Amino acid sequence: MHIMEGYLPWQWCLVWFAIALPIVFFGINKITKIIRENPEQKMIVALSGAFIFLLSSLKLPSVTGSSSHPTGTGLSAVLYGVSCTAFLSTIVLVFQALLLAHGGITTLGANIFSMGIAGPAVAFVIWFALRRAKVSVPVSMFFAAMLADLVTYVVTALQLTAAFGGAAGYGTAFIDFMTIFAVTQVPLAIVEGAIFSMFAKYLADTRPQIFGLEPKYEGAASA
Amino acid sequence: MNISNRTYYMVGFTAIAAMVVVILAYGAYNGFEFAGADDQGGDAISEIDPSYEPWWDGIWGSYELPGETESMLFALQAAIGAIIIGYAIGYFHAVDKARKGKLPNRQ
């Protein structure tokens, strides 16, 4: 989903920065507050961020013949919401833009928006809808993480269509970008959903209170 | 639905491994190169709007990171994530053990 350095007209860079930055700053505040008020949450925050680090570094092959990254934002999105995830994604995206020449500083705002805001927002909504419908934690997490991943790439395609559709027609441009980003991503999103589902099962069994569940046995009461 | 954790993880990891193998086999059959989707996105922009010129090369300029170094940095990023996840799992495990009084006493 990384839009490469220089590959977004500067007006669009500004637009995405203007939308993303306030949310990132809000996220910084929120995370600082969470850790200050509940120091025992530090481990879970680090864990959520670590998943973004780990999964977004893996370039996986896909059926379309290209490779792409999972996003790893599912856990953070369902536990801490959109703004915190936006902040954690920013750390990863800056790391990749500066050291890996992957993504870019000028396109950072757009990349934060797709990976840290749009995807996690959908994951957050789906998670609460499924949990409210009494769907189990691992299954809800599967769909939340899968959609966080997939929506990120759909939004990247939309961002590029908005910026470049004028030249060739928005319809063709959208289909082109969707083929490159979103279609490639479908199998990877399913893999990501499966990974998070397994981890959510582990957490639900050993630290159920993370998901607001009752501990099943004595001794699992706190993290 | 009461599947044991072990079964759940086994099915999950097997499914992921099988999927990657199937994708790679399909790729080998078709001669796919599995190039990065991000770069393809860049190429598509050039096709859709040939008049567009990338307006900044980034802090590294036109210098392209050697493939080895890039893999190293990606591995480093994965390692940072993995070590934190491993630490957390070990910590949870030890807390549970300590609570059940099963940790060995320090001499």
ipTM: 0.89
Distance CA B13, CA A50 (A): 19
For residue A170, is it within any domain? yes
Instruction: Choose the mutation target among B38, B72, B91, B99 for the interface with A, i.e. most A CBs under 10 Å.
Output: B38
Q: Min CA distance, B59 vs chain A (Å)?
A: 7
Report the 10 Å Cβ neighbour count for A114.
26
Across the interface, do A177 and B32 touch by the CB < 8 Å criterion? Answer: no
Q: Which two tokens stand for residue A69?
A: 């990254």
Question: What is the DSSP code string of chain B?
Answer: ----HHHHHHHHHHHHHHHHHHHHHHHHHHT---EEHHHHHHHHHHHH-TT---S---TTTTPPPPHHHHHHHHHHHHHHHHHHHHHHHHHHHHHHHHHTT-SPPP-
- What pLDDT shows up at residue B107? 55
Q: Does A53 lie at the interface with B, CB-CB under 8 angstroms?
A: yes
- What pLDDT shows up at residue A220? 47
Residue owning tokens 């705002």: A109
What's the Cα-to-Cα distance from B25 to each of A70, A117, B19, B40, rounded to whole Å?
Answer: 20, 35, 10, 22
- What crossing angle do the helices spanning B67-99 and A82-99 adopt, rounded to 10°? 140
Query: How many domains does chain A divide into?
Result: 1
Collapsed DSSP state (helix, strand, coil) of residue A60: strand
Q: Of the candidates A35, A57, A36, which has an alpha carbon nearest to the alpha carbon of residue A46? A: A35
For residue A93, is it within any domain? yes
Question: What kind and span of H or E run contains A130?
Answer: helix A119-132
With contact defined as beta carbons under 8 Å apart, do B26 and A63 qualify?
yes
With contact defined as beta carbons under 8 Å apart, do B73 and A100 qualify?
yes
Collapsed DSSP state (helix, strand, coil) of residue A221: coil
Question: What kind and span of H or E run contains A67?
Answer: strand A66-68
Report the 10 Å Cβ neighbour count for A193.
24
For residue A1, is it within any domain? no
- What pLDDT shows up at residue A115? 96
- What pLDDT shows up at residue A43? 93
Give chain B positions within 8 Å (CB) of A101.
Answer: 58, 60, 64-65, 70
- What pLDDT shows up at residue A223? 45
Q: Which residue of B has its CA nearest to A185?
A: B37
Q: Rounded to two decimals, what is the model's pTM?
A: 0.91
Report the side by side order of strands in the sheet with A60-61: A60-61, A66-68, B35-36
For residue A48, is it within any domain? yes
Domain of A94 in residue numbering reads as: 10-211
Using CB atoms, which residue from B1, B8, B85 is nearest to A198? B8
Using CB atoms, which residue from B54, B70, B96 is nearest to A219? B96
- What pLDDT shows up at residue A51? 96
Using CB atoms, which residue from A57, A164, A194 is nearest to B15? A194
DSSP A7: -
Using CB atoms, which residue from B16, B33, B38 is nearest to A2? B38
For residue A24, is it within any domain? yes
Q: Min CA distance, B107 vs chain A (Å)?
A: 25
For residue A132, is it within any domain? yes
For residue A123, is it within any domain? yes
Collapsed DSSP state (helix, strand, coil) of residue A11: helix
Taking every pair of Cα atoms in chain B, the longest distance, rounded to a whole number of angstroms, is: 73
Distance CA A53, CA A41 (A): 19
Question: pLDDT category, B102, cuts 50, 70, 90?
Answer: confident
Q: Which residue of B has its CA nearest to A167?
A: B49
Q: Min CA distance, B45 vs chain A (Å)?
A: 7
Beta A66-68 vs B35-36: how paired, if at all? parallel
- The CATH number of whichever domain residue A98 belongs to comes to 1.10.1760.20
Across the interface, do A205 and B32 touch by the CB < 8 Å criterion? Answer: no
Instruction: Choose the mutation target among B4, B56, B89, B96 for the interface with A, i.e. most A CBs under 10 Å.
Output: B56
Q: pLDDT 10s digit of each residue in chain A, 223 long?
A: 789 888 899 999 999 999 999 999 999 999 999 999 998 899 999 999 999 999 999 989 998 889 999 999 999 999 999 999 999 999 999 999 988 878 889 999 999 999 999 999 999 999 999 999 999 999 999 999 999 999 999 999 999 999 998 877 899 999 999 999 999 999 999 999 999 999 999 999 888 989 988 776 554 444 4
Per residue, the 3-state secondary structure of A141-204, as one string, reads HHHHHHHHHHHHHHHHHHHHHHHHHHHHCHHHHHHHHHHHHHHHHHHHHHHHHHHHHHHHHHHH
Q: Does A14 lie at the interface with B, CB-CB under 8 angstroms?
A: no
What pLDDT, in 10s, does the model give residues B21-71?
Answer: 999 999 888 888 888 888 888 888 888 888 888 888 877 777 777 888 888
For residue A176, is it within any domain? yes
What's the Cα-to-Cα distance from B48 to each of A177, B38, B44, B93, rounded to whole Å?
Answer: 10, 15, 6, 53
